[in-house]
Amino acid sequence: MWLPGERSKSSALAEAQANALEYQIKANQLRVAGKIREDWWNLHRARIEQEVTADQLTNARRLADDVAKRVKAGDLAQSDQHQAEGAAAVAESAYAMAQANLELAIQIIQSSIGATSFSMLVTCPLWPYQSIGSSPRVQG
């Protein structure tokens, strides 16, 4: 037996609880989507950093080789060769760090989305632009 107004209040409470649950679910979905989006862009940032440091390493090695040839020819001092070799070592260290960061970013997003094969995501272009430089925001 219901008291006066108890039935309507009970149904209003049930409806409010259902709405609260629905909003909680949507908030959790948005939180997960935000986490995945953040992980996705961290992955691409790590990939770009790895590519940049690979280029820097290549250039540092070329410079060190060129300096070594010029030292051998007598055009440069031995100290220049040591400096070039040091720069190549720094570039190699930066590349190793970038490679480790890329591997970490892959593992993080893999765990976020539950993927087992991940090579497609690492090599895919930055949607909707083929590269960072083609983005209207980057071009100015």
Residues 98 and 50: their CA atoms lie apart, in Å, by 5
Residues 11 and 67: their CA atoms lie apart, in Å, by 83
**What whole-number percentage of the chain has pLDDT above 90?**
66
Cβ-based neighbour number of residue 50 at 10 Å = 21
pLDDT at 118: 57
Per-chain mean pLDDT for the chain? 85
Does pTM surpass 0.95? no
pLDDT in tens, 6-53: 888 888 899 999 999 999 999 999 999 999 999 999 999 999 999 999
Sign of CA dihedral 130, 131, 134, 136: positive
Residues 133 and 89: their CA atoms lie apart, in Å, by 29
pLDDT at 136: 43
- Whether the per-residue pLDDT at 135 is higher than 60: the answer is no
Sequence spans of domains, the chain:
14-112
